[in-house]
Amino acid sequence: MKRIGRQALRRLVRRLAGVRVLVVGDLMLDQFIWGEVERISPEAPVPVVRVMADDARPGGAGNVASNVAALGGRVTICGVVGDDAAGRRLLAALRARGARTDGVVVVPGRETTQKTRIIARHQQVVRFDREVPAVDGAVGRRLRDFVLRARAAADVLVVSDYGKGTIDAEFLHALADVHRRTPFTWLVDPKRGNFAHYRRPTLIKPNREEAAAAAGIDITDTASLHAAGRRLLERWEAGAVLVSRGESGLALFKPGGTVEEFPTVAREVFDVTGAGDTVMATLALGLGAGGSFEEATVLANHAAGVVVGKVGTATVTAAELLAAIGATGEPRARSRGVRRAG
């Protein structure tokens, strides 16, 4: 692979501003309760957390939207929330970050998905989840119709599938059918329940465990990773498959080509919460700004390296991304031959 230099990356970062991204997926409110642990409870062998502060941030697809906005993109978010305090707080937080929320359906009587994390000395003590794992058929049709109308005005569509019911087979089949007739750029962050229904995305980004499950191949080494990537390219009819492998970095597969392996550039890792959302947002903006798959991947790798150095559901700004590109080396992707899938 041709080396991607710092100047090319900096130019790409400066083109991110104004890229129009439509994000659809599972919306949730990420609540963080911060405190200190000074003793063990006399009632049970559990830590006593003395609460010092709390805050709430958009999570799930909302975190993708927050990252798009933080990097200078223009983002519209589409999903479902309940007509409750958490839903109102989530919508207010999204609007405060610059996201358009006219694609969000507010459902009376529904509970907004919430994840509450207790954090003490930068360590997560416990997490509480509140969620309703299904979307009514009429609500699903409203979401689908909105996305099919709005996607024409967007440079990139991101499907952020957290498996909470917003994204279903009917929705994915509709997108694949439209893409077959009128191609557009769309990215998917997949979940197990919909593995059989993803078709024709421009890029799809499973993590290592998801890639193994979707391909039916236990990924234990380079050979099994490559076999899984080739199988997923064919099965999902994807323009590219990007496997995120945590501290091992990213592996990019394209049809009939080579796999490019990108080592992680993270310098300090405090919290990986939401790092995949940052990667998706950066990929979307990079491709929407005219970058290649490789350029967008390198940029997303740098963005992830910044965000894992923060605690909680976090975002990265264009200024931080530029600084990271300047402060780190230029890890050369390792190119390996991949046989044409047959």
Q: Determine the 3-state secondary structure of 17 from DSSP.
A: coil
Rg (CA), the chain: 20
Query: Cα 50–55–60 angle (5° rounding)?
Result: 125
Task: Locate 117 and state its tokens.
Answer: 């994390």
Q: How far is CA 232 from the centre of its chain?
A: 19
> Which residues pair with residue 36 across a beta bridge?
50
From residue 78, give the alpha-carbon distance in Å to each of 14, 45, 202, 287.
26, 43, 20, 20
Q: Determine how many CB atoms are found less than 10 A away from the CB of residue 110.
A: 19
Catalytic residues: 277
Calculate helix-pair angle for 137-150, 169-181, nearest 10 degrees.
Answer: 20
Q: How many helices (H) and strands (E) does the chain have?
A: 10, 14
From residue 269, give the alpha-carbon distance in Å to each of 107, 226, 245, 304, 320.
38, 27, 15, 10, 16
